[in-house]
Structure 1
Amino acid sequence: MAESSTGYITNFQVYTGREGTGEKGLAHRVVMDLATPYYGSHLSIFMDNFYSGVELFEEMKGHGLDACGTVRANRKGLPKNKMLTKQAALDKHTFRVAQKNDLTFCVWQDTKVVMVLSNYHDPTEKGSVSRRRQGGTQTAVVVPACLSDYQKYMKGVDLLDQMIGYYQFQHRSKKWWRRLFFFFLAAGCYNAYVAARCAGGNTFKYKSGYKDWLEDLAQELVTPVTARSAPQCSSGPVGATSEHDCEKIFEKRKVCRECALSRSGTDVRASATVYGCRQCNEALHVECFGKHVRRHHL
């Protein structure tokens, strides 16, 4: 479960198999387990069609939780009227809406039929979504409010997966627990970034995004080892010496001197860092510091 606008993980559950003999269904049980801390809060929870269902949404309503999501046509309890199923011949961007007690169900014809179920939306309330016309221009299309809210807020988990996918830990293993470990390590890094960004407000210096923050986090973690306490040897990494110290000396990121030299004449762009050699006043990645020291001692 992730917060919609930032992708911050608020709760999770690792699947370990069926629990007991009276389990209502995996999707139903998972949603109720993750939502338990929020009972009575009227928190709006959005989900895709793997989880959504009439019985689930009715139970969530009873626990003071608002729910909305796309739904599969074969779910129990949905209207049987052909005008409210996938067999309905609707013109593009037209819709039908039905209501039963607190539940609102809508069918909208986009490129394909979209079905949405909600336990808190007013069936008469309207919203809008953007759609691209043939010429490439964007136009607003009137839809039920439950559908426009779903498109607006159903993105937290996708955003989290996207950010973790960009910067995965390249560590292959057939052991299941290692996969979980590195996934949660990546998720923890992203959660920390979101927390730091929210706490920093306008003073948060990583305006360029998550990548720079993650690089600096890694450098902060390894600097005491590579720059201060690494053993001196000709074949391995070179640590700090009396003539050169690797420290965080810049407020703004600068292009690494060694990366710039090694990539000169290529199309590969040298990356930036806030670390460098204090004596030489040159920007250097922690991992490039050894090259810098050796070059100056040749």
Structure 2
Amino acid sequence: FLSSEKMLRRRAKSKLGCTKSDEALSKSEQDSSDENQSDKENKLQFECDEDSDYEPAEKKRRGRGSGLNSKSLQVNSKVKSKARAKGKFKAEMLPSGEDGAKMEGWREVDEADVAPCLPTFRPLRTPGPQLIMMAPYTALDLFQLFFTKSALQTIVKNTNENGRAHCSTKYHTWTDITLKDMYSFLSLVIYMGFVKCCALTDYWRCGTLYDLPFPRKVMSGNKWLGILQALKLSSLEDDAKNEKKKGTPEFDCLANIKPLYDDIREACRHNYQPRQEMAVDVRMVASKAKVPLKKFMKNKSVHWGFKLFVLADCSNGYTYDFLVYEGESGKALSDTVMSLINPSILGSGYKLYLDNIYTTPSFFRDLLKHKILACGTVRPHGAEFSKVKLNVLDQDSPRGSIRWLRSDSVLFLQWRDTKDIFLCSTIHPAHANKSTNKKTKNKGGRSPPKAIPPSVKDHSRCMVGVSLSDSQIGYYQVLRKTRKWYTTFFYHFVDIAAVNAYFLYEELCKAKGELAAQQKVFRELLVEQLFEAGTERATAAPPQAPEPTETHHRLVYLTSDWADGWQKCKVCKTKTPVKCSSCNIPLCFSPQRDCYNDWHTESVLCRDTEG
């Protein structure tokens, strides 16, 4: 009986083991079928076509009751990596833009692009000079459009005030200058731009090497240097008020140049309406003044100096407006550009070309709301640049390759030349049917011409606008070394006025069908006319009473006896018995030595005595 009972128990245990093994086997088969099903779903997910509207569902949190284990996750990642390796992952979707549209991977040149709808160009004034085109303008008339009489009178007033306060000593008393003196001063400032001397005093030196009659004819050296020393653009009262605000938000770091700075900017905008294409770039004005306004820029030819944001017409380089960089104010660079290109003053439909420091897609969309188009280079690692890695230019892409994609109205472009160029544009299509070709050379000779996208071509052509203005200023620049930072800006404002006046002169010559002279000839005429404006004309001068006899420069003997009391001549150091009655200086006057006339025609000191 016991043995039979043991046998029954053994049979029951064996049956129970079989059922457990069957359940485990069925469970493993079910897991494998689930894995196969997930493989099929992953393949369907990553093998979707480029033009399909398929959007993968949002991934749910994987918890305990999700039905997915670690094995299925590993299989999903493996399938995804294999699909990408085989090229089956064809469409990678980007975050949607403002209009909800989806961007796919980078497209190639064989894929068509729809040209953007551009707003109509409607300037508020007729583009070009705001002058009477057939009127006879002189070089001085055009220069006075920027350095107006009211602006010069303000400078004269502030200079006299500063001279009386800081330039009067017991040995020298400041003498107030007039508007005509300022014209003479400006004529020599521009003259020194194309006639270079190492030191300022060399312009008034007498001798074989430094015999320049024009500076001595315009003004004495002591008077010109005195005006330069006392030159002031703002009043002392305004400077004192502004100095009390130092350290507060009301402090104006440009207060010392504000009067002339505002006048020049207003004159540049008033006398010219730019054409459709304009450019914004940075200009550096060299300076070694120890002020916080001075900045360092590694990529510019002038490394240390004052930083200016310049808006120029691309057709001729005319400086339409500019802003001096005042330091970090918490505002973005896009705000600076918007203050330069004011739609309420310019109009709509303008095309703006920028450098990569200003270019962001969001800023381009804001400009488009004001009906202003934009194109500019962009930094590929910027925060708003497309992060798509699918079908980008790689190491194997040949020169001339193009990749592009469009997000709402903004075009992103990659083009390979000697280096990769990245642009954003709201003006251009990605490529044109009749694109311009660029001839290139390799070591083996000429290679086939490469297609240039229209955005790259127009950007390279239009960014020359600011460079043209900079180069015209650099040819005959009046800037000189000075410790006073506001004097540096005064020199630069003179350059802007002279170059803009020359650009207006060229536009007037085109309208009349005449050949324009070179800038050097224009500046020479301007110097002569400024000199004439600073001197009394004989025809216009009222008649004057004759001078007393004792004030005439005439020769007299030193003593009553010509044989006694001889003194050394001021010029040749030879003893002479005569002197000048007005100068009271012994001078030779003989057939061999005519020191008397040499002294009165060439000496600066004698001119100072007369003045």
TM-score with structure 1 setting the length: 0.68
- Per-residue displacement from partner, 1:23-42 (whole Å, max 9, x unpaired)? 2x2x2121111111457511
AA paired with 1:122? P
Greater gyration radius: 2
Residues 477, 495 of structure 2: 8 Å contact kept: yes
Say which SS state the counterpart of residue 11 (structure 1) adopts: strand
Q: CA deviation at 1:204?
A: 3.9
Distance 2:379 2:477 in 1: 32
Q: What's the counterpart of residue 412 of structure 2?
A: 105
Quote the RMSD (CA, aligned, Å): 2.9
Q: Match for 1:120 among 427, 430, 440?
A: 427
Q: CA deviation at 1:125?
A: 2.9
5+ residue gaps, structure 1: 238-298
Q: CA deviation at 1:48?
A: 1.2
Q: How do 1:1-298 residues align onto structure 2 when only pairs under 5 Å count?
A: 1-19=311-329, 21=330, 23=331, 25=332, 27-37=333-343, 41-82=348-389, 89-125=396-432, 127-128=435-436, 130-134=438-442, 141-201=450-510, 202-207=512-517, 209-223=518-532, 233-236=600-603
Distance 1:198 1:60 in 2: 30
| Cα pair distance change 1:89/1:50, threshold 3 Å | farther
- Per-residue displacement from partner, 1:91-131 (whole Å, max 9, x unpaired)? 11211111111001111111111111101222243532544
Residues 438, 451 of structure 2: 8 Å contact kept: no
Residues 438, 452 of structure 2: 8 Å contact kept: no
Q: CA deviation at 1:212?
A: 1.6
Distance 1:150 1:225 in 2: 45
Residues 130, 138 of structure 1: 8 Å contact kept: no
- How many residues align? The count is 230
Residues 82, 88 of structure 1: 8 Å contact kept: no
Q: CA deviation at 1:55?
A: 1.6
Say which SS state the counterpart of residue 172 (structure 1) adopts: coil
Residues 479, 488 of structure 2: 8 Å contact kept: no
Residues 7, 156 of structure 1: 8 Å contact kept: yes
Distance 2:533 2:601 in 1: 20
5+ residue gaps, structure 2: 1-310, 539-598, 605-611
Q: CA deviation at 1:61?
A: 0.9
Q: CA deviation at 1:5?
A: 1.7
- Deviating more after overlay: 169-178 vs 180-189: 169-178
Say which SS state the counterpart of residue 13 (structure 1) adopts: strand
- Deviating more after overlay: 10-19 vs 182-191: 10-19
Residues 124, 144 of structure 1: 8 Å contact kept: yes
Greater relative contact order (Cα < 8 A, sep 6+): 2
Distance 2:504 2:438 in 1: 31
| Cα pair distance change 1:82/1:15, threshold 3 Å | same
Q: CA deviation at 1:133?
A: 2.2
Q: CA deviation at 1:58?
A: 1.2
Distance 1:120 1:94 in 2: 21
Residues 377, 421 of structure 2: 8 Å contact kept: yes
TM-score with structure 2 setting the length: 0.35
| Cα pair distance change 1:187/1:138, threshold 3 Å | farther
Distance 1:191 1:138 in 2: 43
- Per-residue displacement from partner, 1:116-164 (whole Å, max 9, x unpaired)? 1101222243532544424897985312221111112121101101111
Q: CA deviation at 1:205?
A: 4.8
- Per-residue displacement from partner, 1:180-213 (whole Å, max 9, x unpaired)? 1111210111111111111122554534x21221
